[in-house]
Amino acid sequence: MNAVLALEDGTWYRGVAAGAPGEARGEVVFNTSMTGYQEILTDPSYAGQIVTMTAPLIGNYGVAGGDAESQSPRVAGFIVREASPIASNWRADGTLRDYLLKHGIVAIAEIDTRALTRVLRSAGVMRGVIATGHPDPAALVDRARAIPKMEGTDLVQQVTCAQPYRWQDRAQTGAADQESFGIAPERRASRRLRVAAYDLGVKWNILRRLDAYGCDVHVFPASAPAADLLAIEPDGVFLSNGPGDPAAVAYAVEHVRTLVAAEVPVFGICLGHQVLGLAMGGRTFKLKFGHRGANHPVKDLQSGKVEITSQNHGFAVDPDSLPSNVAVTHLNLYDGTVEGFRHVDKPIFSVQYHPEASPGPHDADYLFRQFLEAMERR
């Protein structure tokens, strides 16, 4: 089946359908990871976005049940250069195409993703539409221009949990899974620590990681009052990743402001990092084309070390807006944007990137240990 991708600037590409028939609308972005496409498809941070994979062949190792980061794919659509029709992997449950069909994800293949990525890097990410069949490209361009912009859009409510839950009750993990993470017993918490986590669109591997380090994680909806989290008397609070504009989730910012005043250790990742920045008086802004991939260099300003990190975000915290009691700890070596900060007097810190990876390197996994140490000291 034929398919067309059209962007709001009038650019369009003709290819073939690689997933479900129909139409997908969203912000077109690109990810430079060479593997991990299933984790990317199921990452709730991609809600409302059509993801372009820059690696030329996607789908060659199929999909596996244990690699999902949420219940189902969260992307609005998917773009690849070549979609492998077979799955060459003993772990695979099926092919990428069957997976996309099963979950109703519209995808397009056999377009020049290199040219598309150059357009998005030069002009910035744009709204776009994928449609299968024989659509009129000009009509698709008009539909792309009618899509609401990402700025000012609250997408968290689409992906947050409906009710609080305990991760250990939901997860199918045990001692064997902890061992597979490679976390030595001496690196785990000295006792089971209770963590209250705000689900802004959390990836499962974050929860798996906290569990493996020795934390009992209680997950709360993004709209839950801070008092609900504090009521369980947590050793620490975690702020998860998620989609959309951080400035649009004012309710979450207000909740986190209460937690900052409560003197409880707080650790934020991705959208949680941005929300924490807003709660402490900072501002956020939209990046031209964002950071999405598993190979982004980040410098730890305290140690001087450079970490290769996994990233997925389109907004950043303005360092000049942060108050004097907040110190920047990490910088992106591509463009100098803030990748981490901490409160100078309280056990509160966050990073813009994903230390749990999935996909990506584990250079930043030490941040989970820092969170443990902050909770244990308290």
List the CATH number of the domain containing 246: 3.40.50.880
Rounded to the nearest angstrom, the gap between the alpha carbon of residue 96 and the centroid of all alpha carbons in its chain is: 20
Q: How many domains does the chain have?
A: 2
Q: 264-274, pLDDT tens digit by residue?
A: 999 999 999 99
pLDDT tier for residue 172 given thresholds of 50, 70 and 90: low
Q: Per the residue annotation, which of 8, 27, 307, 356 is the catalytic one?
A: 356
Residue 178 has pLDDT above 90, yes or no: no
> Quick one: 301 and 322 in the same domain?
yes
Residue 312 lies in a domain: yes
Say if residue 73 is preceded by a cis peptide, omega within 30 of 0: no
The answer on 246 and 184 residing in a single domain is: yes
Co-location of 141 and 167 in the same domain: no
Three-state SS sequence of 236-305? EEEECCCCCCHHHCHHHHHHHHHHHHCCCCEEEECHHHHHHHHHCCCCEEEEEEEEEEEEEEEEECCCCC
Residue 318 lies in a domain: yes
Q: What is the CATH number of the domain that holds 85?
A: 3.50.30.20
| pLDDT at residue 135 tops 60 | yes
The catalytic residue among 215, 270, 273, 313 is 270
- Please check whether residue 151 lies inside any domain of the structure: no
Return the pLDDT at 170: 78
Pick the last residue of a domain from 88, 119, 145.
145
pLDDT digits (tens, 9 = 90+) for 316-374: 999 999 999 999 999 999 999 999 999 999 999 999 999 999 999 999 999 999 999 99
State the pLDDT at residue 173: 45
- The confidence score (pLDDT) of residue 309 equals 97
Same domain, 86 and 201: no
- Indicate whether 141 and 164 sit together in one domain: no
Mark whether 111 and 167 lie in a shared domain: no
- pLDDT score recorded for residue 109: 98
Which pLDDT band, with edges at 50, 70 and 90, does 289 fall under?
A: very high
Q: Taking residues 51-59, report their average pLDDT.
A: 98
Round the average pLDDT of the chain to a whole number and report it. Answer: 95
Q: How far apart are CA 326 and CA 366, in angstroms?
A: 21
Q: Quick one: pLDDT band at residue 257, thresholds 50, 70, 90?
A: very high
| 332: CB partners within 8 A, 6+ apart | 291, 296, 297, 298, 338, 339, 352
Residue finishing a domain among 100, 120, 145:
145
Classify strands 165-166 and 215-221 as parallel, antiparallel or unpaired: antiparallel
pLDDT computed for residue 52 by the predictor: 98
Residue 270 annotated among the catalytic residues of the structure:
yes
- If asked whether residues 163 and 241 sit together in one domain, one would say yes
Residue 199 and residue 135 in one domain? no
The CB density around residue 9, as the number of other CB atoms within 10 Å, is 15
Last residue of a domain, one of 145, 180, 202: 145
Structural domain contains residue 150: no
Note down the domain range covering 315. Answer: 156-377
Q: Is residue 278 part of a domain?
A: yes
